[in-house]
Amino acid sequence: MPRAFVTGITGQDGQHLAELLHGKGYDVFGMVKGQSNPRAQQVQEEMPFVELVSGDLADLPSLVAALEMSQPDEVYNLGAISFVALSFSQAELTANITGLGVLRMLEAIRMVGGTQNNPVRFYQASSSEMFGKVRETPQTEMTPFHPRSPYGCAKVFGHDIVVNYRESYGLHASSGILFNHEGPRRGIEFVTRKVTNAVARIKLGLQHELVLGNLESKRDWGYAGDYVRAMWMMLQQDEPGDYVVATGETHSIEELVTRAFAEVGIDNWGDYVRQDPKFFRPAEVDLLIGDASRAREQLGWRPEVDFGQLVKMMVTHDLEHEANKAGLAVPD
């Protein structure tokens, strides 16, 4: 059985990836940090097949020990401080975990490394946030980076160090430059889930207002379940490389809000939505649209869920979830 080691197992992508790998017959090891981490317990209940291993991206010896224990064929580094807004107030922590954490993971792989005939393969979760103030549209693997947040800067370092270790030490190390990817497992702090959850609660009469930041910003949103497939595909290639993973479509926050409310039959969404400058960011990225031609042609990857299906999936999930929690019937 192949063995995979995943950091960020408690996050949205970690869970989707663990399910995918388990379905393919992998032994899945998930790294969790801290003492009695409540999210670790949740992962264990929802995905009992995952073997949890303790470790922290801030602590190289713990990464070495985790790899020695799990002896993986593939390592997926999904762990990060991933909320862009938070990175402005915790910039140093973000640089340490999201940036230097990648370097530590690569060093741990060099130390433990697998066998010469079967070296460990590495996946790094790079991000469209690296493009920031975009130099061209749509963005490809060749588009220069101009990050607009401490998070984006840390991801650029992570991306560059993967390229450097690949070129310096011949590691099978690949990066997926993933554009926004969402789903019912998305954290409530991200705009899609914040919106779909609020829409469900407003429909159920549990909430009366949705307070947002910039309604004009635009994103290329896909479904997380589709995107983890691309991660796995990258590590099955003979040669490592970098791939943009995106839908090639962009939508504004306003369009997202309109669609989500329409799903529950509310057209006058303006009556429920208020903007508050506290949700605006000190700097915003420009128009993000990804060109995933390379992933399509070399990996044979294609997204299966489009924007409309994604919003519907998330609203439907949140309606059921919130109704169950409150002991209410799910509206038709």
Catalytic residue annotation: 127, 129, 151
For ligand GDR, the closer of residues 120 and 177 by Cβ is 177
Spatial contact of 52 and 9, defined as CB atoms under 8 Å apart: yes
Whose tokens are 């103030």? That residue is 133
The answer to whether the beta carbons of residues 174 and 242 sit under 8 Å apart is yes
Round to whole Å and give the CA distance between 30 and 276: 38
Residue for token pair 């402005």: 88
Strand positions, DSSP E, 37-166: 51-54, 74-77, 121-127
CB of 132 to ligand GDR, least distance (A): 11
Name which of 205 and 278 has its Cβ closer to ligand GDR. Answer: 278
Residues that bind ligand GDR (CB under 6 A): 82, 84-85, 127-129, 179-180, 189-191, 194, 212-214, 217, 219, 253, 279, 281, 284
CA angle 247, 248, 252 (to 5 degrees): 90
Nearer to ligand GDR (CB atom), residue 122 or residue 151: 151
What token pair was written down for 21? 């790998």
Q: Residue 229's closest CA among 153, 306, 167, 176?
A: 176
> Minimum Å distance from CB 49 to ligand GDR?
26
Residue of 63, 175, 160, 56 lying closest to 113 (CA atoms): 63
Nearest residue (CB) to ligand GDR, 185 versus 194? 194
Q: Tell me whether residue 119 or residue 213 sits nearer to ligand GDR (CB atom).
A: 213
Phi, psi of 60 (to 5 degrees): -60, -45
* C-alpha Rg value of the chain to the nearest Å: 20
> Residue 70 CB, nearest distance to ligand GDR (Å)?
25
Q: Smallest gap, in angstroms, from Cβ of residue 238 to ligand GDR?
A: 28
Separation of alpha carbons 65 and 102, rounded Å: 16
C-beta of 249: minimal distance to ligand GDR in Å? 15
Report the residue count for the chain: 332
Of 78, 4, 69, 14, the closest CA to residue 47 belongs to 14
Q: How far is CA 312 from the centre of its chain?
A: 20
Q: What is the largest CA-CA distance in the chain?
A: 63
Q: Which is nearer to ligand GDR, 59 or 284 (CB)?
A: 284
Residue that has been written with the tokens 């549990």 in this structure: 206
Least Cβ distance, residue 30 to ligand GDR (angstroms): 19
